[in-house]
Amino acid sequence: MSTSTMKSVGQPLLEVRNLKKHYAVRNSLGKTTGYVRAINDISFTIYEGETYGLVGESGCGKSTTGRTLLRLVEPTSGEAQFNGNNIFDLNRKELRGIRKDLQMIFQDPHTSLDPKRKVGYSIEESLIINGVKSKEERKRLVTEMLVKLGFNENDYNRFPHEFSGGQRQRIGIARSLILNPKLIICDEPVSALDVSIQAQIINLLKDLQKQLTLSYLFISHDLSVVRHIADRIGVMYLGNLVEQGTTEEIFSNPLHPYTKGLLSAVPVINESSEREKIEITGEIPSPINPPSGCVFRTRCPFAFERCSQESPAEIHVGEHRSVKCHLYDHK
Amino acid sequence: MEKEKQPLLKINNLKTTFSTYKGELSAVDGVSLELNEGEILGIVGESGCGKSVTAESILQLLDENTTTYDGEIIFNGKNLLKSSNRELEEIRGNEISMIFQDPMSSLNPVITIGKQIAESVRIHQKLSKKESMKKAVELLRLTGIPSPEQRVKEYPHEISGGMRQRVMIAMALSCQPKLLIADEPTTALDVTIQEQILKLMLQFQKELNMGIVLITHDFGVVANYCTKVAVMYLGQVIEETDVKSLFSRPLHPYTVGLINSVPQLDGDRSKELATIKGVVPSLTQIPKGCRFAPRCPLATEKCLEEMPNLESAKENHQVRCWHYEKVLEGELQYVN
């Protein structure tokens, strides 16, 4: 497999191993009657300076994955090595230390900023929490950051409602960058924006990555957006990471039937007849009662007997390439 | 495209104005559109361009205390803007139906979906309770919902977003309307479900020979499902043509910029995405000349002073721009 188009990547920055998040379902008496398997044993690695895209439809667990990495949601089991620490073992104080390097950008720029605070303060707050004592120093850092992201200095004193959606998203980015993080978890950062603004934000994120050697975990449902920003991609379905590969590989040669179906469902402007069309029927099953065996089998046009009996293991088919599907298991 | 005797829907110089404490806001300013039976007209544009207001003006669904309409909306030879409330009642849901973006908020959460569909059937078709319930089951089956006899007893929260949108389609089509207005019907849905829902709409459209007005922000949807398209910006139609001409050669700099900025599934992905500078101005600060001039790469003095009209640039291709010839000559790069 060709990996020549990838950026020269550095050391592993974040290694997620066997991450699980199960929510208990309780009846009216408080007795646990089952589990929602929001994340079911996923493993992936993010290298320094790269963008790892996590794609999938609603309810596949992609946002939960991002949130567990910041411990905004407590994982059920697994580990996440970051900077030599397992994020999931840290206590509150240690977590605070690590969050300097691990920041997040949220989807909705209208609700992720405090409407009653000046935007400058919203950005400055992380500096206060992380012990930058001097007021002048903080103000200098914040104005520098604002200018860097295309605002002027006076915008420090304005309120969120005075900005458009795209500008607010840039403020969200400024806030996540102020502590010089190494990894930013971007949870659908452009989904709420119009296309012309979306393009501005994607270009900005790419520029910043080059300047500051940032890594991104880019969570999105929009395949064409992910294609433009990610170096490698993981495709999630019902809590499982069903396929991983470089962006090139995923788009030119998708392996998993779900990835193929997802790609062919995207309406494109120039429909070429060469595009392989695989129609996915039906709807996502409930994660409380996932299908036996392979979770995708109920919608898969290629499902055969084995798919309902055993759940497919992760099959490595290349350096950064893996797929969870019995079709590729030639044992 | 062969011309039929009389268009199903003809909008003439529609102006929809809201009175607010900030003054009069004209959300739709002089929109003219035409739709024949069996055609699917896509209205595209970014948020705030007036595409939804145009759709809602057709059925006059906006708050009557603060909204004034001007112009003509001729449906089947009748001007809807001159019709009485009672006449409109007759048309809404019977001859013209509408599907909204968010099916959860368009359905009543405390009534079973069967009852809700049956209600609309009963009102419009004067059937008994029992008959209308039967019809509801039948409609659900037609929209591809499995075991509809069970589903009619469920509440909206018990079914998925895609199913809810199918219920909305079942309701909208219960009276076999001549015109369906779909306002971002699949924006809240996942792509695999979006495909299913749009195909379902298309199937009914063919069966009933309906006209559809499809409001969307997604050029991919327009390219795959519409027959003609109008691009809106700040309350005006700035370009209108059939789908093929639009994507082979858009003529308005805004359309060119917008299509260029859509990330694609093929082509060079290492290149920067094209952007349009600045942001859409608010309705309180509408530019004096061409509304797109402050953001336009081709803008000249004239553009800032005088508003261009929607003119025929080619056969079946209208554009509102002083400089579309420059675009035709290839002065703006079009990546598609």
The amino acid sitting at B79 is N
> Domains in chain A, ordered, with CATH?
12-101+179-328 (3.40.50.300), 111-178 (no CATH)
- Name the nearest CA neighbour of B193 among B145, B150, B149: B145
Q: Which of A134, A130, A135, A158 is nearest to A146 (CA)?
A: A158
- Retrieve residue B289's tokens: 């000349």
**Per the CB < 8 Å rule, is A269 touching B264?**
yes
What is the tens place of the pLDDT at every residue in B242-282?
A: 999 999 999 999 999 999 999 988 888 888 889 998 888 88
- Residue B158: closest CA among chain A residues belongs to which residue? A286
Mean pLDDT of A163-178: 92
Provide the chain B residues 276-335 that lie in CB contact (below 8 A) with chain A.
276, 279-280
For the ranges A279-293, B2-16, B106-120, the one whose mean pLDDT is highest: B106-120
* Nearest-by-Cβ selection for A266 from B46, B247, B265: B265
C-beta atoms of A224 and B262 within 8 A = yes
Beta carbons of B74 and B157 less than 8 angstroms apart:
no
Are the beta carbons of A23 and A286 closer than 8 angstroms?
no
What does A151-166 look like in DSSP terms, one character per residue? --GGGGG--GGGS-HH
Q: Give the pLDDT band of residue A5 (cuts 50, 70, 90).
A: very low
CB contact under 8 A, B220 and A166: no
Closest CA in chain B for residue A197: B275
Smallest CA–CA distance, residue B261 to chain A, in Å, is 6
Q: Using one digit for the tens of pLDDT, what is the confidence trace for B200-231?
A: 999 999 999 999 999 999 999 999 999 999 99
Q: Per the CB < 8 Å rule, is B191 touching A251?
A: no
- Predicted pLDDT at A138: 94
Taking CB atoms and an 8 Å cutoff, what residues of chain A touch B247? 269-270
- Residue pair B42/B214 in contact (Cβ under 8 Å)? The answer is yes
Measured CA to CA, the distance from residue B243 to residue B223 in angstroms comes to 6
CA angle A63, A69, A70 (to 5 degrees): 95
Task: Find all residues with CB under 8 Å of A183, minimum gap 6, and list them.
Answer: A13, A14, A46, A82, A101, A102, A103, A214, A215, A216, A217
Compute CA A29 distance to the chain's CA centroid, rounded to the nearest angstrom.
Answer: 36
State which residue of chain A sits closest to B45, comparing Cα positions. Answer: A194
A68–chain B nearest CA distance, Å: 23
pLDDT above 80 for A273: no
Residues of chain A with C-beta less than 8 angstroms from the C-beta of B218: 267
Q: Which pLDDT belongs to residue A9? A: 60
Note the pLDDT tens digit of each residue in A88-112: 999 999 998 888 999 999 988 888 8
Find out whether B120 and B114 touch, Cβ atoms under 8 Å. no
Cβ–Cβ gap B191/A270 under 8 Å: no
Of A5, A196, A266, Cβ closest to residue B275: A196
Nearest to A224 among B194, B263, B275 (CB): B263
Q: Do B273 and A279 touch (CB under 8 A)?
A: no
Among A92, A40, A46, smallest CA distance to A184 is for: A46
Asked whether the beta carbons of residue B190 and residue A57 sit closer than 8 angstroms, the reply is: yes
Q: Are B51 and B280 in contact (CB under 8 A)?
A: no
Q: To the nearest whole angstrom, how far is the Cα of B100 from the nearest Cα of chain A?
A: 18
pLDDT in tens, A48-86: 999 999 999 988 999 999 999 999 999 999 999 998 899
8 Å CB contact of A228 and B220: no
pLDDT tens readout for residues A221-254: 999 999 999 999 999 999 999 999 999 999 999 9
E strand or H helix at B164: helix B161-172
Average pLDDT over residues B136-142: 92
CA distance A213 to B312: 50
Interface test mutation site (partner B, options A207, A256, A269, A275, max chain B beta carbons within 10 A): A269
- Let me know the angle formed at the C-alpha of B263 by B280 and B183, rounded to the nearest 5 degrees: 60
Asked if A194's CB is within 8 angstroms of B46's CB, the reply is yes
Confidence of residue B126 (pLDDT cuts 50, 70, 90): confident
Nearest to A280 among B192, B225, B274 (CB): B192
Strand pairing category for A321-323 and A51-55: unpaired
Write down the residue that tokens 């079942």 correspond to: B170
pLDDT of residue B39: 95
Contact between chains at A196 and B276 (C-beta distance less than 8 A): yes
Whether residue B196 lies within 8 A of chain A, CB to CB, comes out as yes
**Average of per-residue pLDDT across A285-298:** 90
Strands A183-187 and A215-220: parallel
pLDDT of residue A244: 97
Enter the DSSP assignment of B287. Answer: -
Q: What is the per-residue burial (b if ≥16 Cβ within 10 Å, else e) of A5-41?
A: ebeebeeebbebeebbbbbeeeeeeeeeeeebbbbbb
Smallest CA–CA distance, residue B84 to chain A, in Å, is 38
Three-class secondary structure assignment of B110-125: CCCHHHHHHHHHHHHH
Handedness of CA A167, A172, A175, A181 (dihedral sign): negative
| pLDDT at A4 exceeding the cut of 70 | no
Q: Interface pTM (ipTM) of the complex? A: 0.85
Measured between beta carbons, the chain A residues lying within 8 angstroms of B261 are: 195-196, 198-199
Contacts of B280 in chain A (CB under 8 A): 194
Cross-chain CB nearest to B224 (options A200, A271, A281)? A271
- For residue A263, the chain B residues in CB contact (below 8 A) are 265
Q: Say whether pLDDT at A3 is over 80.
A: no
